[in-house]
């Protein structure tokens, strides 16, 4: 074990930092796209039009039952053979988006369905439009229900960026393969790469868990909701003071 760490890591520091940045870029773009596409597919699954539901169901079942590695190959190599050439970053992000959108759509669909129908009926009774009911009543409650599964998908997507090594995407695992080829120290190199992934995923998972706990406890996260909460507290605090003269007058 004394001769384990012999790779001159200082020589590879710039390349590792660049690879780390690419890994984060793949994660951010892939997750943002997957959330948007997953929400759209979930709404189609809940649509009253059966063609929309059927189309969304086919998409979900196809991409849930095809390995991510196969999707990466189809996106990068398969589309190129059909005359559609995508750069590595675009192909990698697209693969992550279409794959994880299928899982997120199921999480979002379940969360939206989990909001009690009485919430929608109450909004309709108040004369709120359907878009307002969904955006201000249903969606905030659904997001709270969907948060645990969504957080899990984010961490899993970050780890799955390592599969992009198969198309030389210049992320962490690709850089680890290059360093291994240059030093022939596979055990040491991949131990360090695994440690970097752990250093990324563990703090992220703990931060997401903290966020989930705050949301469950009712802590407002957006400035807009905090302002509304302060205004509501101020209104409630002012009510007894406003009612005091009425009591004295009746006495």
Q: Is 142 within 8 Å of 39 (Cβ atoms)?
A: no
Statement: residue 217 has pLDDT above 80 = no
What pLDDT shows up at residue 251?
42
Give the residue carrying structure tokens 């063609």: 51
The single-letter DSSP state of residue 163 is G
Whole-prediction pTM value? 0.85
As a whole number, the mean pLDDT across the chain is 87
Percent of the chain beyond pLDDT 70? Answer: 92
Q: Is 108 within 8 Å of 56 (Cβ atoms)?
A: no
Question: For 32-52, how does the pLDDT look when each residue is reduced to its tens digit (9 = 90+)?
Answer: 999 999 999 999 999 889 999
DSSP-derived 3-state class of residue 54: helix
Band (pLDDT 50/70/90 cuts) for residue 4 is low
What pLDDT shows up at residue 98?
97
What pLDDT shows up at residue 245?
54
């Amino acid at each position: 074990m004394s001769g384990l760490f012999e790779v001159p890591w200082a020589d590879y520091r710039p390349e590792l930092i660049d690879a780390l940045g690419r890994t984060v870029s793949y994660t951010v773009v892939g997750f943002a796209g997957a959330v948007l596409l997953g929400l759209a597919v979930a709404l189609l699954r809940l649509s009253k039009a059966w063609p929309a539901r059927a189309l969304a169901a086919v998409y979900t079942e196809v991409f849930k039952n095809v390995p991510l590695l196969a999707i990466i190959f189809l996106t990068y190599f398969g589309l190129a053979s059909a005359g559609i050439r995508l750069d590595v970053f675009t192909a990698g992000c697209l693969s992550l988006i279409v794959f994880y959108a299928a899982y997120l759509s199921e999480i979002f669909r379940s969360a939206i369905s989990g909001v009690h129908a009485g919430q929608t009926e109450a909004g309709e009774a108040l004369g709120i439009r359907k878009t307002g009911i969904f955006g201000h009543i249903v969606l905030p409650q659904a997001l709270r229900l969907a948060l645990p599964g969504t957080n899990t998908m984010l961490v899993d997507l970050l780890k799955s960026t390592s599969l992009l090594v198969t198309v030389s995407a210049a992320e962490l695992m690709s850089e680890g393969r290059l360093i291994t080829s240059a030093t022939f120290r596979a055990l040491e190199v991949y131990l360090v790469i695994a440690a970097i992934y752990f250093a990324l995923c563990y703090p992220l998972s703990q931060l997401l868990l903290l966020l989930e706990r705050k949301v469950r406890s009712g802590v407002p996260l957006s400035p807009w909701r905090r302002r509304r909460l302060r205004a509501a507290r101020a209104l409630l605090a002012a009510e007894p003071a406003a009612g005091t003269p009425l009591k004295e007058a009746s006495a």
